[in-house]
Amino acid sequence: MITVVRSGPLTTVQDLGRPGYAHLGVPRSGALDQVALRRANALVGNPVAAAGLETTLMGCALRFERAARVAVTGAIARVRIDREAVDGEVFDVPAGAVLDIGRATRGVRSYLAVAGGIDVEPVLGSRSTDTLSGLGPAKLSDGLTLPIGQVTGEPATIAGAGQAVDELLLGVRPGPRDDWFAAGELFGTAYTVSPVSNRVGCRLAGSALTRTRAGELPSEGVVLGAVQVPADGQPLIFLADHPTTGGYPVIGVVDDVTPLAQARPGSTVRFRALD
């Protein structure tokens, strides 16, 4: 078992999510930076679908009741075992020791994998916490205990995750409601990541997009990466815990939202049109 000593502002259990249930109103959820989680699992010999922990900005601290092989990937943060700094992404934690993942100094989210995986009860085939619907395990709280599964594999290597950057260029496929806005305006505007962004969506701040069509839409389906434009004209990019329907027009869909997992508030976001 693992005991949570310091939960941090938002630490959740995540795996690769629960795709295939959007028709039932259930979003995919899962790790925002799936490349980082896959790497962490590979480093400790876990199956690709094993669950780990996703921290947000301030990390977390955990006491291990038995010795374990652990990997920490994603955001750059100081990692310590019983207050002693450790180097590298993968290391052993002795029985009874406290592992502390500190404040992220580059990026936003760190990923912790334990050999054997976090063995909480799955819901609809996934152990992921969905912060919008409440499906899956609750976010971590101080004193909570988490079970570890049985070690089944051998450590492997996998390509490193991309580093967090201060300016992102995201590819967007226009539509289905791009004709509701001034042509090309989205691609000529620089935005900044808002501090109120979360796992549901990345809110952007900048020049409001110009509506060219009045009226409202009935609710329609939305997907991961959908760029929705609320009444204030500021784009919102839907992330893993997004709702499955929405009433504001979607100007386009980002082809890969992974870089947004590590985009800190104030980071610049620009868009480029994809064919």
Task: Specify the CATH number for the domain of residue 82.
Answer: 2.60.120
Range of the domain at 15: 2-146
Per-residue pLDDT of the chain (275 residues; tens, 9 = 90+): 999 999 999 999 999 999 999 999 999 999 999 999 999 999 999 999 999 999 999 999 999 999 999 999 999 999 999 999 999 999 999 999 999 999 999 999 999 999 999 999 999 999 999 999 999 999 999 999 999 999 988 888 777 666 778 899 999 999 999 999 999 999 999 999 999 999 999 999 999 999 999 888 999 999 999 999 999 999 999 999 999 999 999 999 999 999 999 999 999 999 999 98
pLDDT of res. 50: 98
229 burial type by CB count under 10 A (0-12 exposed, 13-18 middle, 19+ buried): buried
In this structure, is residue 57 part of a structural domain? yes
Q: Do 6 and 114 fall into the same domain?
A: yes
pLDDT of res. 229: 97
Give the number of domains in the chain. Answer: 2
pLDDT of res. 165: 81
Q: Do 171 and 228 fall into the same domain?
A: yes
